[in-house]
Structure 1
Amino acid sequence: MYQLYYCRGKASLTPHMLLEELDVPYQLVPIDVKNNQHKTAQYLALNPMGQIPLLIDLDVKITETAAICLYLSDKHPEKNFAPALGTTERGLFYKWLFFLTSNLQAELMIYFNPQHYSESDKAGVKMRAYENISGMLDLIENQLVENQSFATGPYFLDKHCSAVDLMLLMLSRWTSDLAYPARVRPCLNKLLNLVVSRPAVIRAFNDENIVAPYF
């Protein structure tokens, strides 16, 4: 049985949703980040970086949200949460999954934690991060418009919901209080509503006591 170490609403929400979608046995292990439970010796013995999420599969420990999503998707290929290896579609899957984790998530972390990057110009750091986030969300919106032109979809990559859609929903939640959040972009809003209507996604949200509005 998988074990997912998670914290409510954090990046661990993506593999949590994916585990529900895969319909496989797993156990949730809550970690109280506010009380620094992720910095305890017990947790650091499992994940020396002290970060969330962490997936344990027997004697294998997987960290990093994108890595966990790839690991789970490849272990359960029949569920179609990642395109087949060696295909063009798989290349696009890599492109967008790592764009989300390496760019959008990274800028959101800067936006919410400007003090980690500058003590003297926190407002400036936050503004630059906001501008970058807005540009990335616009890029995603433009890609969705292009997808419509080629009659692909209804999900981000094709007719199948993938780990990219789940990660995009998780990160879009983080933008909910921004001046120009993800949901104001028409195509992105349509996609997010489609993903959040999935029963497995709702089950994960219920597990974490996440209530509407979801993004």
Structure 2
Amino acid sequence: MYALYYSPGTASLVVHWLLIEMDLAHELRTVDIDARDHKRAEYLALNPNGVVPTLIVDGEPRYEAAALAMYLADRHPEAGLAPEVADPQRAQYNQWMFNLTNTLQAPLRLWWYPSDLQADDEAVRLGAQARIEAACERFDAQLAQHGPYLLGERLSVADFYLTMLMRWTRKMPRPAHDWPHLGAFAQRMKARPGFATLYQREGLSEWA
């Protein structure tokens, strides 16, 4: 059984969603961000970065959301959510996962937490917004030309990750679902039964 340290709506969301989608036995351990549980010594001993998620795997703590998502898919190939190493689509899958973390997740972090740079918040947000919107243009074009998923007809972990990041744009001047193909993609992903279960468990309502 897995144990997931999580906080609702954060980067742990994609790991929680995949545990549900893949029907993997797991327990949830809430990390109260407002109470700064993630900065307590007990938690830092599991995840020295002091962020969520942390996944306990065979008694050992593992972290980094994208790495955990890819790990679960590789460890449970029967779920069919990642091309195998010898599969021609594996390189494309890896490319999208790294693309998501570098070109979309990174500026989203700045938009939500501009004070991390100890600079003018408005300037940081404007710069991050430009990067996010440029990334959305590229992802929308990919789905338009090669959809309905990032790997074409093949659903993968990358699609779950993209959906989580799209949710993070919901309060931006132009949220990701405003792009037509991204919007249709989001509706498709949110229609999955696992998404409703995820929202119910995490007590979420925005962007349902």
Matched to 2:171, the amino acid is D
Quote the offset at 1:212 in angstroms.
Answer: 4.9
Please list the CA deviations of residues 42-99 of structure 1 after superposition, one character each: whole Å capped at 9, or x if unmatched: 1111111111001111233211011101110011101111112122211111111111
Q: State which of 170, 193, 196 in structure 1 corresponds to 2:164.
A: 170
- Give 3-state SS (helix, strand or coil) of 1:88's partner: coil
Distance in 2, Cα, partners of 1:160 & 1:29: 32
Distance in 2, Cα, partners of 1:2 & 1:198: 22
Distance in 2, Cα, partners of 1:136 & 1:157: 17
Which residue does 2:145 correspond to in 1?
Answer: 146
Alignment of 1:92-171 (within 5 A): 92-119=92-119, 121-147=120-146, 153-171=147-165
Which residue does 1:192 correspond to in 2?
Answer: 186
Instruction: Tell me the TM-score normalised to structure 2 length.
Output: 0.96
Report the aligned-residue RMSD. Answer: 1.2
- Tell me, yes or no, if the aligned pair for 2:15 and 2:65 is still in contact at 8 Å: yes
Please list the CA deviations of residues 127-163 of structure 1 after superposition, one character each: whole Å capped at 9, or x if unmatched: 011000000011100111111xxxxx43221333211
Distance in 1, Cα, partners of 2:106 & 2:148: 27
Distance in 2, Cα, partners of 1:11 & 1:212: 16
What stretches of structure 2 of length at least 5 have no aligned partner?
A: none
Matched to 1:161, the amino acid is L
Flag the 1:25–1:35 CA change in 2: closer, same or farther, 3 A: same
Distance in 1, Cα, partners of 2:86 & 2:66: 18
- Give 3-state SS (helix, strand or coil) of 2:124's partner: helix
Matched to 1:198, the amino acid is R
Which residue does 2:13 correspond to in 1?
Answer: 13
- Tell me, yes or no, if the aligned pair for 1:156 and 1:191 is still in contact at 8 Å: no
Distance in 2, Cα, partners of 1:188 & 1:52: 26
Distance in 2, Cα, partners of 1:212 & 1:196: 12
- Tell me, yes or no, if the aligned pair for 1:169 and 1:192 is still in contact at 8 Å: yes
Distance in 2, Cα, partners of 1:210 & 1:107: 23
Distance in 1, Cα, partners of 2:24 & 2:122: 44
* Residue range with higher mean Cα deviation, 83-92 or 174-183: 83-92
- Tell me, yes or no, if the aligned pair for 2:107 and 2:131 is still in contact at 8 Å: yes
Which residue does 1:210 correspond to in 2?
Answer: 204
Aligned residues with identical type, % of pairs:
36
Which residue does 1:42 correspond to in 2?
Answer: 42
Flag the 1:76–1:67 CA change in 2: closer, same or farther, 3 A: same
Instruction: Tell me the TM-score normalised to structure 1 length.
Output: 0.93
Distance in 2, Cα, partners of 1:75 & 1:62: 14
